[in-house]
Amino acid sequence: MLADVQALLVRVLTAEDPRGALARELASATSLTAEERAWLVGVDPDGLALSSLLVDKLRFQQLLRGVPGLAEEFERDPAAVVATVARYVREVPCTTFFPEREGQRFKGWYDARHRETPRGSQP
C-alpha cells in the first residue's frame, strides 16, 4: 500500500544511515507488495544517499527560518548550531511542513534540555 511505502521512505530518508535503514526496513516489512519490495530493493544507493542529504538540508533551512535568531547564531558559531540541530533532528522526527511550527517544536525541545537541574538530582 502506498502509505506503507511512504512511511518507510520517511524513516529511511531521515535515518543517519539511509542505506542500512532501507535494508533493515525491508527485512522487517510485512505489508509491502512484491512489486513495492522489488522497487525498493532496486533503489539506487547513491540516489538514496543524495535524497537523504537533501532532506537534511531542507530541514536545516526550515529550522533557520522558523527559529528566531538561529540564522544569526549560525553565522557566529556554525559548529555549535550544527551540533545542536543534529541532536534535535536525531531526537525529534520531522512531522511538520511549516518553519514556524518546526521552530516551536525546536524551542520546546531546546528549553526542555536546558532547564536547570534541581540540586541533588541527576540530569
In this structure, the answer to whether residues 59 and 21 fall within a common structural domain is no
Task: Tell me which residue range forms the domain holding 17.
Answer: 1-43
User: Domain check: are 65 and 29 in the same one?
Assistant: no
Q: What is the pLDDT of residues 44-84, one digit of tens each?
A: 999 999 999 999 999 999 999 999 999 999 999 999 999 99
116 confidence band (pLDDT: 50, 70, 90):
low
Q: How many domains does the chain have?
A: 2
Residue 37's pLDDT is 93
C-alpha–C-alpha distance, residues 32 and 45, integer Å: 20
For residue 123, is it within any domain?
no
Taking the model in full, what pTM does it have? 0.77
Residues 36 and 80 in one domain: no
